[in-house]
Amino acid sequence: MGRTIKLTDTQWDQLDHLRMSTASADVFRNCTIILMSAVGRSKASISKDLGCCTDTVARVRRLYRKGGVKALHPIKPPGRPSRASPEYINQMRQAIQTNPLTLGYGFSTWSAARLAEHLARVTGIRFSDDQLRRLLHQEGFSIHRPKHTLKGKRDEQAYKKAKKGLIRLKKKR
């Protein structure tokens, strides 16, 4: 299909604005292909300058002719939908903001493994610790591994006395 693409000034401005305001490299490339095509560039020269194949140039031109500017946005790639349903995400948000002690657990901080186990019990959907961390990150949360100390559970005076004694022992020959 050797037909050239003709753009009005308004269409040119619309494409150029989209090209400069998008965060998507694909949309930027697609707009550039149409703009370069409108000035009479060949598929081969466009593909060489943009580092894509001539089939891509032809496909983008065809999409633009059929659907206009809207067709330059890539279609979401096919894939299995996430098992993390909105209900699961809601349960995760509620659990992460709740102290585990109030839910009857014997610990006061969530770890990824503990949270995954709790959510599996509540929702019936189990995710690995890493996947759960990714889901939490998408929702603006993070889980750090807790630092286990005996502070607050030990006799602080005896601890300080033993620490001084240890320093004395280390200084002796």
Is 116 part of a structural domain of the chain? yes
Mean pLDDT over the full length of the chain: 89
What is the model's pLDDT at position 74?
A: 85
137 φ, ψ to 5°?
Answer: -65, -40
How far is CA 64 from its chain centroid? 29
Tally of CB atoms within 10 A around 79: 6
pLDDT at residue 173 is higher than 70: no
Q: Which residue has the higher pLDDT, 48 or 153?
A: 48
Q: Which domain holds residue 30?
A: 9-72
Is 68 in the same domain as 21? Answer: yes
Residue by residue, DSSP assigns 112-146 as HHHHHHHHHHHHS----HHHHHHHHHHTT----PP
**pTM of structure:** 0.47
Is 17 in the same domain as 67? Answer: yes
